Amino acid sequence: MTLLWIGLGSLVLAAAVQLALRGGGRADRLFAILVLAGAALGIATAIGVLRDGTTLTATIPSMLPGGNWALGLDPLSAAFLIAILGVGALSATYGIGYMRYDEEIAPWPSHAFFALEVAALSLVVCARSVMPFMGAWELMAIGSLLLILTEYRHAEARRAGFIYIVATHVGTLALFALFATLARNTGDWTFGALAQGTREPSAARTAVLALALLGFGVKAGFVPLHFWLPPAHAAAPSHVSALMSGVVIKIGIYGLLRVVWLVGAPPPWWGWTVFAIGTFSAIFGVLWALAQHDVKRLLAYHSVENIGIILMGLGLGALASAYGHPALAAIGYGAAVLHTMNHALFKSLLFFCAGAVYREARTRDLELLGGLARRMPVIWLAFAIGAAAIVGLPPFNGFVSEWLVYRGLLQAGQSADTLRLAVLGTPALALVGGLALACFAKVAGVVFLGTSRSPRADQAREPSALLRLPAIVIASVCVAIGVAPPFVIGVMLRAGGFVESVAVDPGSAADVSRSAWQVAAFALVLLVAIGVAAFLMHRLRVRVSRRVSDTWGCGYAAATPRMQYTASSFAAPLLDVFGAASGVRTHRGPTVFHSEPFDLALDRAIAPAWASVRRVAMRLRRLQQGRLRTYLVYAVATLTVLLGYLVVRGGA
């Protein structure tokens, strides 16, 4: 545990360095070293915990209500801690290079907030009693707000920040209610003590489970609570989006898993609700992503999709637990944790690449880009790996966790009880995979392939090493997990088994880890097949004449870049299939086709509801005249009413 504290201290020190030196090259170098070293120490501790399956604890004496502050590191928090520190440190390094493109903003406050945010996130997963948990939770919420507001000069960022802060505090409110329910009979607010009274079915337990869905759901951003996510991710700098999407929303998942750990096997209704929400989020997240033209908003909707896939795993775990299949529950929870980890990796990778494109081409609009593969080959390679991973293609890491979810669902289909209906999740997951493939074919094709659609894309160059290196590191990890999954699947099952509060039964663990080796073998077979095919193709190609000419245009030789297929047209047939649910307005004319995405939850439900709340509030405004006279009248009137009440009650 000491190593972890030193690591977190190093993060705080990094922030202090930026604040003290007010930025500059020396501060940036020191900052990067401190952040990377701090993260390495924390990750080392977490890996130790995951490997041995132990739990580390610490207590800080406190005079505040709720008793001493308990902190700890168990396999569940260790898995999340690795994602937080790994993605956090690499994003911080990337952020140094990223912020140098913008000369109007002094980057040092943002860097300092970033390091503090990573420390706050680490504290959230280490907290084992209510006070430190809620404290770290609020630090995290405010840190995110400050980071979203980095480019506060843009109205877009201010609006996104406002939506975010409202949404996150709705969640916090639900968490207060949750902990108040848990702690109503005890003065000891450590998680261990809170768990005592709630392991049996009761009204309080039902309330806790429902409140967890709301409180942690806003943070996780599943449909329909996802509305704050796209504006925030689009308006924040890319390294912040990477952290938010890769890590911050996962804290919602962590919260749900922690609550399950607290209250024990959840009832079936909760499992089915989580499973249904997951399926719904996965399908609609990816569908709405397909409609986007802003590359960062598009990636944000993909986070909604992946949170959905994670929740399908979590729901499966909860259901298996409810119906009494502990081994399958460990697979479900383990798949959720593994996909959380994988999504943290490939999503931050994709945001790094999107950020590099944005900084170089100075636009996030897909329709203005094109042909960047030639101009930024390293970023293109990294993006292609990230895209293949998020679609779930072998041999990348996304495939491994999706395979585990599928496997769990198919296994659920063989049980004799109601649990077998969970097998219906497999076609849904397949649809999500197909839609994600369509979406990333669109992004990769329109941004990186073909020819440039505007002069902006022509000016793009390969970015500096500060932007490239973090992307290369993460891309390598994506490939490594995809090729050698047994190493991660084993520890993730340990985390999953920890949530279920059972040691994973050795028989089923051996079964899963054997098939993990088989997945690794298949990845190897695929790579060997590609190698052999490349060799054969080379032999065939060198024997014949090769020349270069124009693309076939049906005999038309004067093709221009504007004739290329656009992102709108590419996505149109799929969006048409889903009709009004696809969240897009299209304009078709004889010479134009244009589509405008909108958010069904924010623009169709929450914004109108907010507007009517405001309308009612405006009527009440007549009471607030700002004149002292009126307020005196109110005061006298209230006193009279209260005195009248006392008189009527007759001094009882």
Partner 1 sequence: MPERATPVLALILTLLLAPLVPGVAARTRAVLTGRRGSPIWQLYADLWKLFRRGIVYARVTTIPFRLVPVVALAAIVAASLLVPLDGRTSVFAFPGDVVAFVYTLALARFVLVLGALDTGSSFEGMGASREVTFAALVEFALFLCFAALSVVTHQLSLSGMAGVTLADRWMTAAPALSLVAAGLFILLLAECSRSPVDDPTTHLELTMIHEVMILDHSGPDLGVILYASAVRLSVLAALLGRIAWPVAKLAPALRLAALVAALVLVGVLVGIVEASMARLKLAKVPLYIAGGAALSAFGLVLLLR
Interactions with partner 1, residue window 488-547 (CB under 8 A): 511, 515, 518-519, 521-522, 525-526, 529-530, 532-534, 536-537, 540-541, 543-547
Given a contact cutoff of 8 angstroms between Cβ atoms, the answer to whether 345 and 474 are in contact is yes
**In degrees rounded to 5, what are phi and psi of residue 57?**
-135, 160
Q: How many residues bind partner 1 (CB under 8 A)?
A: 86
> From the CB of 409, what's the least distance to partner 1, in Å?
8
Cα–Cα distances (Å) from 66 to 129, 186, 604, in that order, read 8, 9, 42
Find the binder of partner 1 among 139, 207, 276, 441 (CB under 8 A): 441
Q: Find the binder of partner 1 among 4, 8, 310, 444 (CB under 8 A).
A: 444
Nearer to partner 1, 23 or 433 (CB): 433
Scan for tokens 């915990």, then name that residue: 49
Closest CB 389 distance from partner 1, rounded Å = 12
Q: How far is the CB of 282 from partner 1 (least distance, A)?
A: 12
Closer by beta carbon to partner 1, 341 or else 438 = 438
Does 446 bind partner 1 (CB under 8 A)? Our answer is yes
DSSP letter at 225 equals: T
Pick 549 or 612: Cβ nearer partner 1: 549
Residues numbered 371 to 410 that lie near partner 1 (CB under 8 A) are 371, 373-374, 384, 388, 391-394, 399, 402-404, 406-407, 410
Q: How far is the CB of 396 from partner 1 (least distance, A)?
A: 9
Minimum CB separation of residue 546 from partner 1 in Å reads 5
Q: What is the DSSP letter of 460?
A: -
Calpha distance 316→333 (Å, rounded):
8
536/643 with CB nearer partner 1: 536
Alpha-carbon distance of 233 to 242, in angstroms, equals 8
Q: Of 6, 37, 207, 431, which lies in the binding site for partner 1, with binding defined by CB under 8 A?
A: 431
**Rounded to the nearest whole angstrom, what is the least distance from the CB of residue 449 to partner 1 in the complex?**
4
Q: Would you call 22 helix, strand, or coil by DSSP?
A: coil
Does residue number 435 form part of the binding site for partner 1 (CB under 8 A)? yes
The answer to the question of residue 581 lying near partner 1 (CB under 8 A) is: no
Q: Which of residues 135-174 bind partner 1 (CB under 8 A)?
A: none
Give me the 410-429 binding string for partner 1, x by CB under 8 A, dash otherwise. Answer: xx-xx-----xx-xx-xxxx
Q: Based on CB atoms, which residue is closest to partner 1, 99 or 443? A: 443
Residue 479 touches partner 1, criterion: CB under 8 A = no
Residue from the set 569, 586, 594, 607 that interacts with partner 1 by CB under 8 A: 569
For 56, the enclosing helix (H) or strand (E) is strand 56-60
Nearer to partner 1, 181 or 426 (CB): 426
Give CA–CA dist 3/255, Å, rounded. 24
Segment interacting with partner 1 (CB under 8 A) among 151-159, 295-303, 459-467, 572-580: 572-580
Residue number with CB closer to partner 1 (263 or 312): 312
Distance, CA of 345 to chain centre: 10
The HSE-up count of residue 466 (CA atoms within 13 Å, CB side) is 18
Ranges of H-type helices in 246-324: 250-263, 268-290, 295-322
Cross-strand partners of 129 = 190
Beta strand spans in 103-208 (E):
none
Q: Where are the beta strands (DSSP E) in 245-372?
A: none
Minimum separation from the CB atom of position 194 to partner 1 (A):
38
CA distance 154 to 159: 9
User: At its nearest, how many Å lie between partner 1 and the CB of residue 424?
Assistant: 7
Q: Give the chain's radius of gyration (CA, Å).
A: 26
Determine the distance from the C-alpha atom of residue 29 to the mean position of all C-alpha atoms in its chain, rounded to a whole number.
Answer: 28
Which of positions 26-45 make contact with partner 1 (CB under 8 A)? Answer: none
Cα first-last separation, the chain: 61
- How near is the Cβ of 565 to partner 1 at its closest, in Å? 2
CB atoms within 10 A of CB 499: 27
Q: What distance in Å separates the CA atoms of residue 506 and residue 219, rounded to the nearest whole number?
A: 35
Q: Which member of 203, 506, 551, 624 binds partner 1 (CB under 8 A)?
A: 551
Tell me which residue of 576, 574, 550 sits closest to 563, measured CA to CA: 550
Give whichever of 135 and 486 is closer to partner 1, judged by the CB atom. 486
- Comparing CB distances to partner 1, the nearer of 545 and 624 is 545
370 vs 497 by CB, closer to partner 1: 370
As a whole number of angstroms, the distance between CA 222 and CA 309 comes to 10
